[in-house]
Structure 1
């Protein structure tokens, strides 16, 4: 989910209303790495564990338990001294990390029934942290969150006089900010600094211990629209979590669990940052595509897509005729528009017309099943099929829906796992289950920005490596539950 780029983002309530979730991989250790788990599990921190100061250690692996949620993937953040624990979305399409925060209840408008329970959102309490402080108006993070062309603007807004802010002597806090996401979501808050505690070991050999990163800048958010629980920004800007912790010189990787594990706190998968993420990319099976850059949106991760093809029952067979993508998907133009944004904060992949319409037409011809138009109307998905199934679970490998292959820049081809393309939106009834294509139509792109978006649903059970050293993105389909 990226700020200032507006695309369609399907509301979480569609999944929660129609998905019947059926809750039914470690890496070699190297120095200079951070491993976070994407999960709902409770913090690994206990009072008996002595925090390590991250600034004193050069050879550090950090290992933290991420799980599937109903509309994305969560990781645990431990903020403050002593740590207060928060579950936040992992979002490669934005930079700011923020949590609900303050002394009054968190206000979230248009957050949907899925997040509206009798239990209020946990709030970070700055007064309960001995290491908390307000970020100052002259800090690089304050300038970044205000998206100012003039680095003196935040201090001018804070009421400092010219000699104070030009001399770097203004002691006033960073003014309150608003941070806007695609789809009309936004958050309002102030910028704070505090310790963030992750978990790891020296050289990946020593037992796990808390690792404290002091002075982490994050949003203390009191109200929002459509953002209920908090976000960890993983973009390439100054504010992002990997940027502040010093890992953008290497890269990171994640392996998202299948959505059938949504809300299951007992199954986790790894998010890896640093050296540890990159050697895995040398494993056989990875396909790599160049990472594109945008002068307008330089903080995000772009790749090129040349087209899409549908595969038959044997996904290793030669692809059918490729549906060619428009040039706007294979490259970024001089104005910074086009390309495909890799965005874990957007649930589904969005493709533009007429390319998307051509894919739907090809799918209709290739799928040997009757369409379920009533479920299409109820869910908002564009293609739903009545698939024979004697009893649940209905294995994807036993149906005849075609696998979808993305033809990427540089000649790479990524064949998506079927469960990353189609999902059963009903229970089995009369030996039939309805499965829907979980792609969406992109807006008309009149306002510029990416030509398409690769969402988190299509990245489930695919290990994704963001290799910032070589300037490429790697993909490897695998069972991410086995990498827990």
Structure 2
């Protein structure tokens, strides 16, 4: 979920023991996380993408509902025949799609309160799907998940000659894998193939109806660290969901509901893949566009450039903008710098000393007193005691300044105030405490899995994308932003 994926070859016996171990249940609560009180094998599979590449899907758009959770956004996956339904995190910062899976209970270590429920974690049961099989050792997905440039490739370890699996002719199932994320998160599992059913429309005009995509490759995960419920990878790599379904030649969009709707399944907003995602994202439609930067080192992820940050209702001017360090406006030849657009990271992370200077500037212009005790309790760096006689305390009624991101190419994205500051207490003595929900970029990349010595210079997280429609225009190579009430579009 956090972007930089390092694939480790682990002895098969060790992986197998993890994969079959016992367990219980959903996403980690770190000290800096804030609880906002919201919401097989039947036959060897011969890889074939014929159906997915057929003209039947040339004009297909996919529209899926997305719901808010306590620290991210969830997408429903319908896997298998008949379909088994799973709620997974929508993550643009990774490629692998996986679900808890297997014949024994799912084990998740360091998963905090969300995994302490007595209710068992839903698990995909391969034996209950007539269309399920394990992915093969020589498939491009197996090669991708196993870092094939290692001379001790596990496909060779299970008795498959290198020429056989590189040519796609190895008849053995793909060996178990280890897939890691930033912040020390890890999943262990095996690659499976099965049908995934989504909701599609031809030209975005016909009514939505189920569309089955056969042969979808995903992780059947039996145990994990800090990753409790599953992930839909939306990066640009071979394994990602839009890549496998053929939508990386077009693009996709999402409009995240406000976190006040978290854990409320009655409110959803759309994830759109295909031409429909791009049709409304025009220069005269109010969208703010910025170029999609390229990283030779990390080509599977979505980068944009940041030129500065300003405070105030007018969004600031060039003279009042705090200039970002040059490393945030582009990605160098070693893959360092830029801003990663990562829906799998909750809060936006900015590097020091730029972040520290922004905190000082913001504290100087806000006319409210600090709540030091709440800063200590939540881990957020700026919390203010804001006057409020009665809930709800509307954001437009306070004097906290809007925050604007000045993007490469000249666009200015003014974030909705609730995407920057959030009330972390109830009204008490006519005061509510609101905290700035940005965080410091760790030297080692922290939650974002990069930064410091390598990787992105900053990360744009999902909290700052709430009530902003975001379009990933892979045709024109750009990312577009449009602040709007995503609940209205739901």
User: Please, what TM-score do these two structures have when normalized by structure 1?
Assistant: 0.89
Q: Which residue of 1 aligns with 2:422?
A: 423
Change (3 A) 1:20 1:191: closer
Are 1:147 and 2:147 an aligned pair?
A: yes
Q: Which residue of 2 aligns with 1:281?
A: 281
**Aligned-residue RMSD, C-alpha:** 2.1
Are 1:459 and 2:465 an aligned pair?
A: yes
Q: 1:142, 1:154 within 8 Å by CA — same for their partners in 2?
A: no
Q: 2:139, 2:168 within 8 Å by CA — same for their partners in 1?
A: no
- Once the two structures are overlaid, the 10-residue window that deviates more, 343-352 or 279-288, is 279-288
Q: Which residue of 1 aligns with 2:337?
A: 338
Q: 1:18, 1:426 within 8 Å by CA — same for their partners in 2?
A: no
Structure 2 stretches lacking a partner, 5+ long: 7-26, 40-50, 444-450
Question: SS where residue 394 of structure 1 aligns?
Answer: coil
Are 1:352 and 2:351 an aligned pair?
A: yes
**CA offsets, 1:90-129, max 9 Å, x none?**
0000000000000000000000102321111100000000
**CA offsets, 1:104-155, max 9 Å, x none?**
0000000010232111110000000000000001000000011222699343
Are 1:100 and 2:117 an aligned pair?
A: no
**Partner Cα distance (2:127, 2:489) in 1:** 39
Structure 1 stretches lacking a partner, 5+ long: 22-39, 41-52
**Partner Cα distance (1:399, 1:348) in 2:** 22
Are 1:468 and 2:485 an aligned pair?
A: no
- Once the two structures are overlaid, the 10-residue window that deviates more, 358-367 or 198-207, is 198-207
Question: SS where residue 89 of structure 1 aligns?
Answer: strand
User: Please, what TM-score do these two structures have when normalized by structure 2?
Assistant: 0.88
Q: How does 1:141-180 map to 2 (within 5 A)?
A: 141-149=141-149, 153-161=153-161, 164-165=164-165, 168-180=168-180
Q: 1:19 aligns with which of 26, 36, 43?
A: 36
Change (3 A) 1:477 1:151: farther
Q: 1:421, 1:458 within 8 Å by CA — same for their partners in 2?
A: yes
**Partner Cα distance (1:124, 1:371) in 2:** 48
**Partner Cα distance (2:324, 2:401) in 1:** 19
**Partner Cα distance (1:92, 1:394) in 2:** 32
**Partner Cα distance (1:386, 1:162) in 2:** 63
Shift of residue 253 of structure 1?
0.6
Q: Which residue of 2 aligns with 1:36?
A: none
Q: How does 1:35-184 map to 2 (within 5 A)?
A: 55=54, 56-149=56-149, 153-161=153-161, 164-165=164-165, 168-184=168-184
Shift of residue 16 of structure 1?
7.7
**Partner Cα distance (2:88, 2:121) in 1:** 11
Q: Which residue of 1 aligns with 2:187?
A: 187
Q: 1:389, 1:431 within 8 Å by CA — same for their partners in 2?
A: yes
**Partner Cα distance (1:349, 1:68) in 2:** 17
Q: 1:185, 1:224 within 8 Å by CA — same for their partners in 2?
A: yes
**Partner Cα distance (1:433, 1:297) in 2:** 42
**CA offsets, 1:418-469, max 9 Å, x none?**
0000000000000100000000000124431000000000000000111111
Q: How does 1:236-385 map to 2 (within 5 A)?
A: 236-282=236-282, 283-311=284-312, 314-315=313-314, 321-385=320-384
- Once the two structures are overlaid, the 10-residue window that deviates more, 197-206 or 259-268, is 197-206
Q: 1:72, 1:344 within 8 Å by CA — same for their partners in 2?
A: yes
Shift of residue 15 of structure 1?
8.2
